């Protein structure tokens, strides 16, 4: 399954990568600008540069087309991603460039790496109660023992799980489904326009202490893991039930 197929299943698809560091990352002004200028030479349409919250520096494409690239440089991380990518290769090309440049332009040593994250995320627009949708789509008999009570309705149902994918626990997968319905306004029908039910799968790799951490090798491995889990597990078991319930509720 490619990214176009994922975009059909949801209202927003995101492919993100974060390199998390142990030491303070923010370099001097000249180094910061040189890093982003090098990125812009590869992707000339990334022309929006600004400083965000917590002194995080951002370089982005224009958002109006609904598909755009972004890169961030924070005090303890480098982020790279594409919103609604046309294909995986477009996103991976950008991520690889960031990982190739980080050691040379930002002095990120393999000793400095805390973890590397690859995230596939989806948004599902729904104007009603998000918690009810998630509970109906993904609930279980264990939770239904409470939902079967008279007048019971879920008002905070955002399941999450982290699983180890390796015997040393250094390769992990986190799945998170998040409701945006306020706990304090469970009867509110309309949600803010920019709020949606969100689902994310993150593959996190921690360095092995006895080996030099290879940024690109780990990235390629994590991407393969994420793609496989999305197509074989996440889409049939989580995405499809969510979209089915949303479609049913929109008809009623």
The tens place of each residue's pLDDT in the chain, 252 residues long, gives 666 678 899 999 999 999 999 999 877 899 999 999 999 999 999 999 999 888 899 999 998 888 999 999 999 999 999 999 988 998 899 999 999 999 999 999 999 999 999 999 999 999 888 999 999 999 887 887 888 888 888 888 899 999 999 999 999 999 999 998 876 555 555 545 558 999 999 999 999 989 999 999 999 999 999 999 999 999 999 999 999 999 999 887
The H or E element that residue 177 is part of is strand 171-178
pTM of the prediction? 0.92
Query: What secondary structure letter does DSSP report for 144?
Result: H
Q: Give the DSSP letter string of 50-99.
A: EE-GGG-EEEE--STTS-EEEEEE-SSEEEEEEES-SSHHHHHHHHHHHH
CB 105: neighbour CB atoms within 10 A?
A: 17
Residue-level pLDDT at 152: 82
Specify the pairing of strand 68-73 against strand 171-178. unpaired
In the chain, domain spans: 3-251
């Amino acid at each position: 399954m490619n990214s176009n197929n994922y975009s059909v299943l949801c209202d927003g698809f995101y492919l993100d990568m974060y390199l998390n560091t142990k030491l303070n990352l923010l370099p001097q002004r000249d180094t910061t600008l040189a890093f982003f200028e090098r990125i812009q030479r590869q992707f000339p349409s990334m022309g929006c540069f600004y400083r965000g919250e917590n002194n995080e520096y951002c370089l982005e494409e224009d958002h109006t087309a609904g598909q755009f690239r972004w890169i961030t440089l924070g005090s303890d991380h480098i982020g790279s991603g594409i919103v609604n990518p046309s294909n995986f290769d477009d996103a991976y090309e950008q991520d690889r460039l960031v990982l190739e440049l980080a050691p040379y332009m930002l002095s990120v040593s393999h000793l400095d790496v805390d973890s590397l994250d690859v995230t596939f995320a989806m948004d599902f627009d729904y104007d009603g109660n998000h918690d009810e949708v998630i509970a109906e789509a993904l609930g279980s008999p264990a939770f239904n023992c409470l939902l079967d009570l008279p007048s019971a309705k879920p008002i905070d149902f955002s399941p999450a799980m982290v699983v180890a994918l390796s015997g040393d626990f250094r390769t992990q997968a986190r799945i998170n489904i998040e409701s945006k319905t306020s706990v304090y306004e469970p009867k509110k029908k309309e949600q803010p326009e920019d709020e949606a039910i969100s689902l994310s799968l993150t593959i996190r790799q921690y360095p092995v202490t006895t080996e030099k951490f290879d940024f690109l090798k780990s990235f390629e491995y994590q991407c393969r893991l994420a793609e496989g889990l999305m197509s074989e597990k996440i889409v049939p078991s989580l995405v499809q039930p969510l979209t089915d319930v949303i479609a049913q509720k929109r008809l009623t």
